[in-house]
Structures are given as C-alpha cells and as structure tokens.
Structure 1
Amino acid sequence: MNLSTHPTPPAALSDTALVWDRKVKAPWVAMTGGLSPISLGLALADWAWHLGTSPGTRMRLQSESVDHWLASLKQVGCQEHPHPDKRYADPTWAMWPFCALASTHHTAEQWWAHASHLRGMEHHHQDVVHLMARQWLDMLSPSNWPHTNPQVLMTTLQTRGDNLRQGWHHAWQDMQRQIHPQTAMDGDAAYRPGIEVACTSGAVVHRNHLVELIQYTPTTAQVQREPVFIVPSWIMKYYILDLSPHNSLVRYLVDQGHTVYMLSWRNPDASDALLDMEDYLRLGVLNPLAVITERTGGVPIHAVGYCLGGTLLSIAAAALARDEPMQDAQAIAPLASLTLLATQLDFQDAGELGVLLDEAQVAVLEDSMAEKGFLTGRQMGGSFQFLHAQDLIWSARMREYWLGERISANDLMAWNADVTRMPATMHSQYLHQMYLHNDLANGRYKVEGQPVSLGDLRMPVFAVGTQKDHVTPWRSAYKVHSLTRSDVTFVLTSGGHNAGIVSEPGHAHHHYQLLHTPLTAEATAPEVWQRKAPRFSGSWWPAWHAWLRSHGGEHVLAREISPADVLEPAPGSYVQVRYGD
C-alpha cells in the first residue's frame, strides 16, 4: 500500500472541522434569533429534571397556580386597578373583563418568578429560564393585542379605525427600514452629528487607526490646570456625552472652565477583525494620553471613562501604576483623578446582559463574527431589545401599530440608533476575559505579559452608578470601593445607564445620593451606603465639577487650539461612518 508521505496537518484538520461545525450550527442559531440553542437547552433540561424529581415542589406550584387563579377571579368586580403596572395605567383597564385579564397576567408573572428558580438548579440556568419565561409573558400580555386592550378598542371606535390605518403605515415604514437600513438612516436627518448633535466647537488634533482625539474650544478666559480626558464606550458613538447643546456633558465642562479632550472611536469593518484588546488599550487610551501630555506640558490629567471605556481606562491606569511600569510610561503624565461613569470592573454580577453569556453563547457569537470579522451593531442592539422587550418592543409596537401614535424621536433615541460594530478578536477576548472569567477583578488580566491589579490604583476616584441600570447594575459599579485602594466618592443617580449619566442641570425630577469614603474607612455594603448617603435634588454634574476642582491646581490661561494642530473640525470623520447592520 502506498501511503502518502504528506499527511494533512492537524491544524488544517482543526480549521476544516471548525468551518464544518459553523455551517451546521448556523441554521439552528438563525431559528433562535442568535441565542445558543445549546445554552437554552441545557437551562431548560436543568429546570425540567429538577421539577420532575421534586414532587413536593410540583404540588406547591400547582397549589400556588390555583390560588393565583382564584385571586384573579376576585377581580370580576373591578373595584380598582389590579396593580400599578404602567402597561395597564390607562383608566379603561379598570373595566371588566380587562381588569381580570390584566390581573391574570400579573399573577402568571408572579408564579413563573417562583417556578423558574428551583432548588438545586445552576444559578445561571435559573436566570436563563426566568428570562425566557419573562419574554413569553411579555409577548402574551393582554396589552399587546387589539381585542384584549380596551384602550385600542376605544381608540378604534373614536377614530373609526384611522388608528389602525396609521398603524399599518408605521409597520410598513419599519419593514422598509429592516430591508434597507442604510437608506432609512440616511433619510432621518433630524439629529445629524456636527449639526444638531455633537456640535460643541472643537477640532480633531490627533488621529490613529482606531481613534480620533478631539480637543474642545475653551469658552472661558482661564481653565483649570489639569485637562479632562474622556474615554467613551466603543459600543456606541461618543456623542452620547455631547448630544444637543442643552444636555451636552462636554459643553457643560467646557463652560465650567475645563480643557476637555474626547475620544471618537473608529467604526470598524472586516479589515479590522484582528484588532484585539491590546490594540484598544494602546491606540485608544495610552497613545492619546501621551498626546495630551505633550500638548499640555506634562500636567496631571483627570481621566474619565464611561461604560466599557471606563473598564479599559481602569486597565490602563492599573498598568501605569504597577511597580514595573509599562513601556513608554514616562511619556504619559500622572493621572490626577479617575472618574468612572456606569463602569463595571467586577463582572461576577454582570446584570441582565450577563444572563445571555456563557461558553456556549460566546461560541455562537464567535461563529457569527468569524463570517464577517465583526459583531454587527444590529446584533448588539437586538440583545438590548431582547432584554427589555416589554418597553422597547411590545409597548412601543402597541402604541405605534395599534394606537397609530408614532413615538417622537429625540437626540438620545437618534444616538441609540446610530449603531457601531466591534472587531471579532477584541470582542471575543473581552467576553472571555471579563464576563466569563472575570480576570480584571481577580488580578489575572495581563498587559505586556504581566497581570495588572486594580489594587495599585491610588488616585482619588469619583464613581457614578444609576438606579435603573441593566447594563452595569449600580451594586456592581459600587465594588470599586473594595477593588481599589483609593478615596472613593460614589454617586447613585436616578435614571438608567444612559439617561442617568446625561443628567443636565435644570430637570426638576432628577436626584442623586453622594457619599465620600476615605481610604482609611472600611467599605460598607451597598445597602448600608444607600441608607447613609445624603440625597440631593437635581443633577450630579455640579457636584462632580466641584470635586474635579478640589483635586486640581490653580487656573491657567485657556488653551487655544492652534490652527496648525487642526486635522479637521469636530466632530471629525470617524463618527460619520455608518453601517446598516
């Protein structure tokens, strides 16, 4: 027998097998909307096995089901609203049989909250089953269907069906946007970067392959000596912090006498598939810090990070602070302070987004990214919509399709629709090292081959958590107290992940709690902090400005931008790159 002397290399066999695996899995994933069928199947099997081997629990759940059903029947009299759910806030829900329908749905939600958490189940599987049950219940809510929603029925009678005709028109428009997303975005010119939003005066003064560095034009004769450097998240465009002039955090800082620098991340394409976390650290944080150091003469820098930008900034700060400094660390000025806005450093309790992430789900995402070289903006946006289907899908569709009322766009909604991509390699590393293995909090995250420790951070820290944050739960953001060796001023503000940060002065309903914990004090549990921290009305921005002033030096003449340093006016080119996926 003549055997070949050139067998197929193992690496080639492995690559071929991986390609084959991905082709087989692709139809499964398409049927589950991008969720891993293996992850969902394991969670369901865990729940079913524990339920099947627990006769006492089954009897208890059956008894609770009957009790809930009987309680719903008591609503036949409809004396009052069944509960304060905003889906049933309209007075028409007080009429029978609609109040009974709402009450039945509410009791079903309560029942499943108990039924999805069985003794002995993996905690992650409990969360997955609870999330999937909640998705089904949100879809089946009587408020979503015209024949069980009294508000829709009354509106249809009053308008002689005009609401349904208008709703059909809205549905057709949305369908066209799904088919031609790029055309839809180009046609929506209500909030254009550089005109209606992202219009604070400034210039791009540095550019590399990954970021543009914007310096904003001073509006005061003197400025605080220490500049402010802001690292936004690269999941979305930077101008969340520079929306319309009245709610722009950048404009507020400039008007208070700060020299402000902001990163604008490049929207990656397939050629950027191999960009990794190290590239984001060097090109996105360290290189701009060196440029700012040179432009300001080496004075200390107030560093600010938002969401993922805060995580990356903290990694850079820890790498610069360790005993064996990084290469080229001497080219970067010391950090005067560190501000973390809705930033997660410990991913053990990662919030609702973490429910969707395990090894099987990350493998699905990697398979999806391998085909294109990036995670699409629509995939990321779809994840957030899935987690908040009640508000972002069902309630919105009910209002627009059944009531015929288009939700009025605003600058925050326009920013949210301006999606960005993430390179495949970077996103895979981020998911594995943060969400799955929690390397940063456990001191295992490596920079230049050596682990970094958040315990090396000594500069004062100002951290902001938001009460309704489903991306970075405030109790998770609060862990900065135990992870660093710094004086920490922590703020808990009203609102969610975005609206809590974009909290400009002048809103009557905004409020926050603030408490300073010195380095010598022992960190308390978040619930204890919440009881002790004083509550203030209004925006937290002025308190942060005062804190920056207290950790800075004297004022100097405003730093004008030399025409020779201007690559192009703000907001630059990178923010203008849009994709329809």
Structure 2
Amino acid sequence: MTDQNEGEVKVPDPVQMSRNMADIAERSSKIVNDFLQRQAQQAPNTQVDPFNIGQAFFDMTSRMMSNPAKIAEAQMELWQQYLQLWQSTAQRMMGDESDPVVTPERGDRRFKDPSWEENQLFDFIKQSYLLTARWIQEQVHEVEGMDDKTAQKVDFYTRQFVDALAPSNFVMTNPEVLRTTLESGGENLVNGLQNLLDDLERGKGQLAISMTDREAFEVGGNIAITPGKVIYQNELMQLIQYEPATENVHKAPLLIIPPWINKYYILDLREKNSFVKWAVEQGLTVFVISWVNPDEKLAAKTFEDYMTQGFFEAFDAMTEATGEKEANVIGYCLGGTLLAASMAYLHAKKPEDPGPDPEQIKSTTFFTAMTDFSEAGELGVFIDEAQLNALEEKMQEKGYLEGSAMANTFNMLRANDLIWSFVINNYLLGKDPFPFDLLYWNSDSTRMPATMHSFYLRRMYQENKLIEPGGITLKGVPIDLSAIKTPSFMLSAREDHIAPWKGTYALTQFAKGPVKFILAASGHIAGVINPPASGKYCYWTNSRNPKNPETWLKNAEEHPGSWWPEWYRWIARKSGPKKTPARTPGGGKLKPIEEAPGSYVRVKAE
C-alpha cells in the first residue's frame, strides 16, 4: 500500500476509547433487546420471503444445472481470465508495465482512491472482484428458459449480492479506510459505530442510513422558501399560490401536480435550483399542490379521490383565485400519470360529471410520467402476485405503506450510490454525511394510502391497464388515452431508473393532440431539476415522434444545457401575452390560510 506510512499515526487514548466502547455496548444492548421484542411480537405475521426471491433463484438454479457442460465451460473461462490477471499482476510487481484485464465502468466511484490503481495488491483485489462480479452476472443473465419476470428478478438481486460484496465495503480491503484507521488510531471506526447506532436508534432497530445532515435543512427555512401562501386546502392537499416576481404576468395561470410518493418541494429546493422560483420569474402565475402525508384515517382514499379532491379541486380553486377559466397544468412522475388519466376522463365524461371542461386546460406538461408500464424498468422486480399480496397484508395493518418502504425500494435501484457509499462514509470512515438538499428531500419520505396504492400497483404496474382503451374506469367513466386532444409537452430523462424514457415515450403514440417530446440527460431528478444557470447536461429534440423511441433518438438534435428555456418558449405560446397585472395571493376571491410552504409538507413520515 503506497500511502500506508504517510501521515502521522495517532495513538488512541485508552481511557476515552474505553468510555466510548462502554457507551456503544450499552446502546447496542438496548437496540438489540428492543428489536428482538418487536420481532417476537411480529413473528406470527412475518413472511419468510416477502419478495419471493427464493423461488426465482430456485428456478434459475434448476435450469442452470440442467446444462453441466455450459457450467464447466463458464468455469474454464473464468479460470483463464484469472490466469491473465495473475500474469498482469506479476508483471507489475516486477516493475513492468501491464494493461489491466478489467476496469470499472464509467461512473463507478467505488474505486476512485488512487491506491486502487497505484498499489499492486489493491489493484489485484479490485480487478479480481470486477472479474468475478462480471462473470457471475453474465452467467445468471444467460440462463435460458426463465420467464421475463423471473429473469429480471434474478438479475436484479444478483446485482444486489455482487454490489454488497465489493471490497470497498470492508475495512481490510478498502485502502482509504485502512489509511484513515492508521492515521486516526481507529477513531474513524469508533465514530462509525456511533453513527451506526444513531441510525439504528432512529430506525427503531431497522437500519435507517443517514444520507445527509438532517439538521442542516429546514422546510420553509432554507429549502421550499419561494414566497407564497396556501389559499385552499382539503383533507388530501393544500394549494399554494406563489408571489409574483414581475409587474405583469401571462394571462393563463399554471398548476403543478407533483407526485405524492414524495413531497412537492423537489421543485422548490433552494433559490439556485428552484423550478418554481424560475417559473415565477418568467412571468407565470404558479400554483402547486402540496399533498398530505396520509395516516390511517385516509386508508380508503382512492386514485379517483386524488383526481377529484386533488387535481379538480385545485383547478377550481385556482380559477376562483385568478378569475381565469383556462390554465396550463404540469404533472410530475405519479402526478403526471394522474394528469394523463384525468385528461382521458375529462375528454370522455358527461357535462354533469365532476371535473372541469377539457377545453379549460390549454396545455399539459408531463415530467418523467409513466403511462405504459410494459417497460417499467427495475421497479417491475417488486411487482408480482406474491409480493403484492404481502404488501397489501402489510398495508392493511396500518392503512398505509410506510414511507421508508418506498424509500428503500428506490435506494436499491442505485445501491452503490444510495446505500453502500454511505455505509463507507458514515460507518467505515466515521464521517458525518455531507449536507445536500436533494438527499434531504429524498430522505423526507411520505406514506401511501392502502387503497390507492394497491390500485396503482395492480391496475397500472402489474396489469398495465392505463394504456389499454377502457382498461380503467374513473368515476364510472371508462377512459382511453387516445381521447386526449390537449397539446402536450413531454419531458423524459435518458438515465431515468424509475420511469424509463422508452416507457414514457409511449404516450406520444396515443394522445391525439400535438405532442412535443424532449429527452433530457441524466436521471429522474437531475434530468428535471436542471436550472439554466448550472450549465449542466444537455437535452434532445425532434420535430417528429416516430413509433420507435430509438428512431426518435437517432434522428434527434442535441442541445447543450437546460431544457427549461425550451419549455418556457413552448408554454408561453399557450399562456397568452404577458400583459396581465401580477396576481398576489389573496388578491382574488380566496383568502390566504397560511404562509407557504404550508403545514402539510412539514409532517414527517416517522
């Protein structure tokens, strides 16, 4: 290890070390006892394999063992690769140059410490792991005869296993951790144990990994601070109207429907990256729905309730507050799925049915919104009959799904970035997590009402009925996405692991109104929250929407920077001239209830 003896080696204070270990032992004992008591109480209702992983791997193993010749061939291939690695490592140890046999994928930050390349031993450990990890995943992926769902599940959980065994996750095989341990006299490991216990205590025996400094942010203090007022509320949502930033505004106001899987302030983090603030500065009168964090009292709330009490009541309140009957609407993620379903309903309903006239909605904008769930990405791993039954049983106990359950699912999709990087930083290096507004929001999870969530998972994710004409009925009205005639702007993200862009693109082939499709670089959040001032990423446009999304991308034009100005140029043409005197919250028929961001968003899921 090249850096092993660099820096001063700190000798730990034995008295302080003894006190720290005694405190750790006492806290650990209490956590373990509390956890065991809870497990004993839950034991009769606890399922051994709620994710139905065992059967998937049994199927995979059975099919793999039916072809022993292929297994032998694969083992010989791995052996040959190891011979190459040993030869390469031996050359380096003798002072010769040698190209690596395998290198980390681009963007893999686990091996960023220079010692992973400079030190022959750690370079061998790294390459040995990468070779084995790649070989395991390839063998699993090439097993023939499994159905698509089983194959996807096996691939996913094999990757979880492989990621967990990375040498960077262990003290003795991580050069940075070893160096820090020597230099601090083991203080990093003691601090890491304290951090681990803090997270276990906060999770009441379950590990709730701290991703950011939770004390560094305050909703309404230094995030979600764009000035505005709550002008309407019901049991499902509060409606926020924001203070104008220009003397005159566009005639048509803008309503934003965020997802209720997370809190709305992803669109209003801080001044430098707030989409809400930026939209207000363009001369738009902006309204945002802030969804309630539901408890057992709202267990029976349905997808229809989110449409009528959420979208429709917010739209009516907005028109009452501004005096304008026409408006533009944005739906983000699940909010976009709700918007698409609602628009199909509005185009099919009778005049006496609930909801505004579809002609009142001048345009719709969809941010990373799924409508065709046949390409739902790796989230589909969690959707099968056995898992849905287990989830529904769990939700029936309390009437909702715990926010942590959804958060853990999303974190597993990017385990190296959202789980193991924090294990290394917090527990092995003993550091406090860095204050990061996006990760604070990510940790501020919300619950999901049992009835609504079951409908959403079964009817959309499992059965993919939303894309099927008449497949879903809302308020007694069979809906068909092809009935949507409203002009639409669709934004998807190329690296989106939650709403894969090829699945979101499907709406371009169903909606009958004009559709402008934009593809942003990066993922589900960073692809959307990309202010022009940041100068990050890029986006693609294409004047045509062919049936095949790959054809769309092949013929698309790439543009540097943020897509926000592109959207504003489009929405400005749908909003009327910027000649209307600025509207102040409370200046219309609806009087303010409280200051933004309101009280609903402050309710924690714990």
- 1:131 aligns to what SS in structure 2? helix
**AA in 2 matched with 1:28:** Q
CA distance in structure 2 between the partners assigned to 1:579 and 1:362 by the alignment: 22
CA distance in structure 2 between the partners assigned to 1:171 and 1:108 by the alignment: 30
Segments ≥4 residues shifted beyond 4 Å: 22-25, 323-326, 330-333
Partner of 1:437: 463
Partner of 2:598: 572
Partner of 1:168: 193
**AA in 2 matched with 1:166:** N
Match of 2:442 among 410, 416, 423: 416
CA distance in structure 2 between the partners assigned to 1:344 and 1:410 by the alignment: 28
**2:171 touches 2:177 (CA, 8 Å); kept in 1?**
yes
Deviation at 1:24, TM superposition (A): 7.8
**2:252 touches 2:576 (CA, 8 Å); kept in 1?**
yes
Deviation larger for 531-540 or 75-84 = 75-84
Q: Does 2:197 correspond to 1:145?
A: no
CA distance in structure 1 between the partners assigned to 2:574 and 2:413 by the alignment: 39
Partner of 1:462: 489
Q: Does 2:364 correspond to 1:338?
A: yes
Partner of 2:527: 500
> Identity rate of aligned residues, in percent?
36
**Structure 1 residues 440-471: Cα deviation after superposition (integer angstroms, max 9, x where no partner):** 01120111223211111112211111122111
Instruction: Normalising by structure 1, report the TM-score.
Output: 0.89
Deviation larger for 550-559 or 204-213 = 550-559
**Structure 1 residues 290-328: Cα deviation after superposition (integer angstroms, max 9, x where no partner):** 222333334321110001000001111111112745603
CA distance in structure 2 between the partners assigned to 1:465 and 1:68 by the alignment: 40
- 2:559 aligns to what SS in structure 1? strand
Partner of 1:128: 153
Instruction: Normalising by structure 2, report the TM-score.
Output: 0.85
Partner of 1:547: 570
Partner of 2:82: 69
CA distance in structure 2 between the partners assigned to 1:257 and 1:207 by the alignment: 25
Q: Does 2:73 correspond to 1:50?
A: no
Once the two structures are superposed, the pairs formed by residues 444-459 of structure 1 within 5 Å of their partners are 444-459=471-486
**1:318 touches 1:454 (CA, 8 Å); kept in 2?**
yes
- 1:348 aligns to what SS in structure 2? helix
**2:377 touches 2:500 (CA, 8 Å); kept in 1?**
yes
Deviation at 1:383, TM superposition (A): 1.2
- 1:478 aligns to what SS in structure 2? helix
Unaligned runs of 5+ in 1: 1-21
**AA in 2 matched with 1:68:** Q
Match of 1:288 among 287, 294, 314: 314
CA distance in structure 2 between the partners assigned to 1:72 and 1:367 by the alignment: 50
**Structure 1 residues 49-77: Cα deviation after superposition (integer angstroms, max 9, x where no partner):** 21122334333333333233334324414
**1:290 touches 1:331 (CA, 8 Å); kept in 2?**
no
**1:75 touches 1:100 (CA, 8 Å); kept in 2?**
no
CA distance in structure 2 between the partners assigned to 1:156 and 1:359 by the alignment: 47
CA distance in structure 1 between the partners assigned to 2:46 and 2:112 by the alignment: 41
- 1:468 aligns to what SS in structure 2? coil
CA distance in structure 2 between the partners assigned to 1:362 and 1:247 by the alignment: 37
**2:492 touches 2:504 (CA, 8 Å); kept in 1?**
yes
**Structure 1 residues 394-440: Cα deviation after superposition (integer angstroms, max 9, x where no partner):** 12211222223333122111111111101111111111011100110
**AA in 1 matched with 2:230:** V
- 2:239 aligns to what SS in structure 1? strand
CA distance in structure 2 between the partners assigned to 1:509 and 1:83 by the alignment: 27
**2:536 touches 2:562 (CA, 8 Å); kept in 1?**
no
- 1:67 aligns to what SS in structure 2? helix
Partner of 1:109: 133
CA distance in structure 2 between the partners assigned to 1:87 and 1:188 by the alignment: 24
CA distance in structure 2 between the partners assigned to 1:364 and 1:323 by the alignment: 36
**Structure 1 residues 513-570: Cα deviation after superposition (integer angstroms, max 9, x where no partner):** 22233xxxx6242222222222122211111111101223222221222266111111
Q: Does 2:45 correspond to 1:26?
A: yes
Once the two structures are superposed, the pairs formed by residues 286-435 of structure 1 within 5 Å of their partners are 286-322=312-348, 324=350, 327-330=353-356, 334-435=360-461
In structure 2, the CA distance between the partners of 1:289 and 1:74, relative to structure 1 (3 Å rule), is: farther
- 1:262 aligns to what SS in structure 2? strand
In structure 2, the CA distance between the partners of 1:326 and 1:313, relative to structure 1 (3 Å rule), is: farther
**2:426 touches 2:432 (CA, 8 Å); kept in 1?**
yes
Deviation larger for 551-560 or 248-257 = 551-560
Partner of 2:542: 515
**AA in 2 matched with 1:297:** G
**Structure 1 residues 446-505: Cα deviation after superposition (integer angstroms, max 9, x where no partner):** 112232111111122111111221110112112221121232222222222112211112
**2:347 touches 2:358 (CA, 8 Å); kept in 1?**
no
Once the two structures are superposed, the pairs formed by residues 270-281 of structure 1 within 5 Å of their partners are 270-281=296-307
**2:231 touches 2:586 (CA, 8 Å); kept in 1?**
no
CA distance in structure 2 between the partners assigned to 1:148 and 1:180 by the alignment: 28
CA distance in structure 2 between the partners assigned to 1:342 and 1:120 by the alignment: 33
CA distance in structure 2 between the partners assigned to 1:578 and 1:99 by the alignment: 44
In structure 2, the CA distance between the partners of 1:351 and 1:111, relative to structure 1 (3 Å rule), is: same
- 1:138 aligns to what SS in structure 2? helix
CA distance in structure 1 between the partners assigned to 2:323 and 2:44 by the alignment: 55
**Number of residue-to-residue matches in the alignment:** 547
CA distance in structure 1 between the partners assigned to 2:252 and 2:350 by the alignment: 26
CA distance in structure 2 between the partners assigned to 1:25 and 1:67 by the alignment: 50
Once the two structures are superposed, the pairs formed by residues 247-266 of structure 1 within 5 Å of their partners are 247-266=273-292
Q: Does 2:78 correspond to 1:83?
A: no
Deviation larger for 284-293 or 221-230 = 284-293
CA distance in structure 1 between the partners assigned to 2:531 and 2:229 by the alignment: 24
CA distance in structure 2 between the partners assigned to 1:142 and 1:24 by the alignment: 34
**1:514 touches 1:535 (CA, 8 Å); kept in 2?**
yes
Deviation at 1:388, TM superposition (A): 2.2
CA distance in structure 1 between the partners assigned to 2:418 and 2:355 by the alignment: 45
Deviation larger for 328-337 or 376-385 = 328-337
CA distance in structure 2 between the partners assigned to 1:441 and 1:500 by the alignment: 25
Partner of 2:17: none
**1:299 touches 1:333 (CA, 8 Å); kept in 2?**
no
**2:252 touches 2:326 (CA, 8 Å); kept in 1?**
yes
CA distance in structure 1 between the partners assigned to 2:358 and 2:584 by the alignment: 21
CA distance in structure 2 between the partners assigned to 1:552 and 1:189 by the alignment: 40
**2:228 touches 2:240 (CA, 8 Å); kept in 1?**
yes
CA distance in structure 1 between the partners assigned to 2:59 and 2:409 by the alignment: 24
CA distance in structure 2 between the partners assigned to 1:446 and 1:526 by the alignment: 28
- 2:120 aligns to what SS in structure 1? coil
**AA in 2 matched with 1:45:** F
